[in-house]
Structure 1
Amino acid sequence: MKKQFLALMLAAGAAMGTAQAEDVLHIYNWNNYIAPETVKHFEADCKCKVVQDYYGAMEEMLAKLAAGAKGYDIVVPTGFALPPLIKQGLVQPLDKSKIPNLKNMNPAFMNSQFDKGNVYSVPYAFTTTLIGYNDKKIKELGIDPTSWSAIFDPKVLEKIKGKVTVLDDPKELFAAAMMYNGFNPNSTDINQWQKAKDTIIKAKPYWAAFNNQSYIKELTVGNIWLAHGYSNDMFQANTDAHTAKRPFNIAYTLQKEGNTLSVDNMMVMKGAPRPDLAFKFINFMLDGKNSSELTNMIGSGNPNAAAAQFVSPDIKKINAVFPTADNMKKLYQLNSLEGKPLRDLNRLWTEVKTAR
């Protein structure tokens, strides 16, 4: 009898442990892309636990999910990664009746070419690719940072030779050169790409480096004065400069010719163990105050119109974080490339990198 009672108690305990373990939301996300206090607030609100797994690139995320990785409830992909996830049947349509806070979204960020009607996705945050700069040096030299001429015009670059870096990324650098020449960055016209290549090669001798990794630090310590990079990184560089009490700021702004935009989106996995928690989380993150916490932490662009009132005034006035209607007309989400256009870009990139 005692043995039966003990067995029943152990079984009950195991069942309770299983039930508790199941009150877990699994998110597959970029690193450092949810404010810690936001996670704590959601866990208290849903009486559950949030477990995050991280990726460093979209290709890594897509490959892992395509290979059959399971157990995730939510994934946060960039725009161009949405179509393959949808096509492969890896995500489920959103139950919008469970996301009343969708009303808070800025319409300008909805209904993208990657998911018409937002059937599967809702925007979470965004970055823009732009120019960040040492405000003191660039003002002294009379350079206009609101134009891509700051990294492409040899007459301008003569003033800052060796103090400029650009992204070591063919899509982003060619997009900037395309916009500088008045072309749509999503064009695959080979003649336009040739002109963009020529623009890059003429400017290349004035650049210190192609740099994806250390331009935040180089800006912060004053080794470079102007960088082509991501808005979140420029926010971090300015924060670091203030912390180090540098005698300058790292400012950043959109360019008048246009900029590229990378929108990250929340999607619910088709095999989500807890779709109920997934929809609760999405709705929670679309609350204006909750959405603002990421922007205040890392300076991310915010597609949530209700978040503006909770964002620091200094951040709110940055057009890369809250673009105006006019700004939005010149923000482009880059399409994915495949086949001949991809081969053409790779060939032109090789010509750029080997040019002397």
Structure 2
Amino acid sequence: MVKFNKILSIVGFSCLVNIAHAERVLNVYTTSNYIADSTIEKFQQNCKCRLALSYFGDPQEMAAKIAAGATGYDVIIGTGYAIQDLYKMGKLDTIRLPQISALTNVDSKFLHQSFDPQNAFSVPYAYTMTVAGYNKTKLDKLGIVPDTWAVFFDEKYLKKLQGHVTVFDSQRNVYAAALLYLGKDPNSTNPNDLALVRKVIEKASRYWARYDSTTYYRSLLNGDVWLAMSYSNDLFNALQDAKKAKLNYQLAGMVQKEGNMIELDNLVIPVAAKDKQLAYQFINQVLQPRSAYDLSQETGASVPNAKAVSMLSRQLTNYSWIYPRRDQKIYGFTAYPPKTRILINEVWTELKMECH
């Protein structure tokens, strides 16, 4: 009996030791290549924990997953129009701003956005612009300057580019670009505008190679794609890889005269987060000027951190498709009303089935 009790004591002590030394893990849901490696290393050292990253390809994919009840994330990095709906559904926690001392590093013009006027549930992290990435060598030979969204939708250009154009597998981005091409509000919910967009896409899609939000930059690099709807940070990385590969053609990026969409990505904490204390520690870490600098310098993401931007190389900040000029036309996404969202999702599915 004494031996049995001793065994129980040893087992119990062992369990307590294991619990005491259980690894703390912070689960972050984000897009790929959106946290600098140096920031990950520094955070893990400071918190004596492990950062576990999960990835999504499109903001609507993320929103749909969380809305459907997915849990297991402590921090999500998501676009404004997507997280707005999640907060209304009760999926996101109210942010305790006094716990975010590093918020003072965020440029005030990025705070109090229309999707969260009081920053009740979100804190700005970084932003990307949707622009044209292209094979400059090829387009120069064809006499095409991609300074207009017409290059993606007008047959005058597409006949020369047939089979070598990609657009995002994202109805929000493609609809916004088509609306800008038509001279409309990129967030329009007017049924007549949306009907026009459908016709434009139906006509143009026969010339497109595919809908692609994830691998298009590789196709730009290998020369298969000459023109791609691109995220600014993906394009930046493609240009860096092109230099290393010493390609015999030049890749470039360009903004469009009708205007470009910006996706402001934000840090949010799900209601179901398991370690909110660690979540706040992470948010304070990534909002530090050095973390923001590393993110932008390493990945080409644009950061809403004035001190970090002042530290960046002139080469990076000179890209108007990464850090826009004051005279550029820039638009942000707003959330669709439920009826519009359902309608466009249905039409988008039909359009993709019709493609080719």
Calculate the TM-score normalised by the size of structure 1: 0.86
Letter in structure 2 aligned against 1:330: I
Equivalent residues in 2 for 1:264-343, closer than 5 Å: 264-327=265-328, 329-336=329-336, 338-340=338-340, 342-343=342-343
Letter in structure 1 aligned against 2:116: D
**Structure 2 SS opposite 1:147:** coil
Deviation at 1:69, TM superposition (A): 4.4
* Alpha-carbon contact 1:128-1:260 (below 8 Å) kept: yes
The structure-2 alpha-carbon separation of the partners of 1:127 and 1:337, relative to structure 1 and needing over 3 Å to count, comes to: farther
Residue of structure 2 in register with 1:19 after alignment: 20
Letter in structure 2 aligned against 1:342: I
C-alpha RMSD of matched pairs (Å): 3.0
Write the distance in 2 (CA, Å) between the matches of 1:64 and 1:350.
Answer: 22
Deviation at 1:281, TM superposition (A): 1.0
| Structure 2 gaps, min length 5 | none
Moved more, 175-184 or 26-35: 26-35
Identity %: 35
Equivalent residues in 2 for 1:23-34, closer than 5 Å: 23-34=24-35
| Structure 1 gaps, min length 5 | none
* Alpha-carbon contact 1:25-1:51 (below 8 Å) kept: yes
* Alpha-carbon contact 1:123-1:303 (below 8 Å) kept: yes
Calculate the TM-score normalised by the size of structure 2: 0.86
Letter in structure 1 aligned against 2:301: S
Residue of structure 2 in register with 1:216 after alignment: 217
Moved more, 42-51 or 284-293: 42-51
Deviation at 1:34, TM superposition (A): 1.9
* Alpha-carbon contact 2:57-2:213 (below 8 Å) kept: no
**Structure 1 SS opposite 2:228:** strand
* Alpha-carbon contact 1:260-1:334 (below 8 Å) kept: no
2:112 corresponds to 1:107: no
Query: What do residues 131-162 of structure 1 show as CA deviations (whole Å, max 9, x unaligned)?
Result: 11112233344432222122233334444444
Letter in structure 2 aligned against 1:199: V
Deviation at 1:40, TM superposition (A): 0.9
Write the distance in 1 (CA, Å) between the matches of 2:273 and 2:171.
Answer: 35
Residue of structure 2 in register with 1:180 after alignment: 181
Moved more, 333-342 or 280-289: 333-342
Equivalent residues in 2 for 1:152-191, closer than 5 Å: 152-191=153-192
| Alignment coverage as a number of residue pairs | 355
Equivalent residues in 2 for 1:1-356, closer than 5 Å: 11-21=12-22, 23-66=24-67, 68-327=69-328, 329-336=329-336, 338-340=338-340, 342-343=342-343, 346-347=346-347, 350=350, 354=354
**Structure 2 SS opposite 1:260:** strand
Write the distance in 2 (CA, Å) between the matches of 1:93 and 1:85.
Answer: 12
Write the distance in 1 (CA, Å) between the matches of 2:154 and 2:318.
Answer: 28
The structure-2 alpha-carbon separation of the partners of 1:100 and 1:131, relative to structure 1 and needing over 3 Å to count, comes to: same
Letter in structure 1 aligned against 2:263: S
Letter in structure 2 aligned against 1:48: C
**Structure 2 SS opposite 1:130:** strand
The structure-2 alpha-carbon separation of the partners of 1:101 and 1:61, relative to structure 1 and needing over 3 Å to count, comes to: same
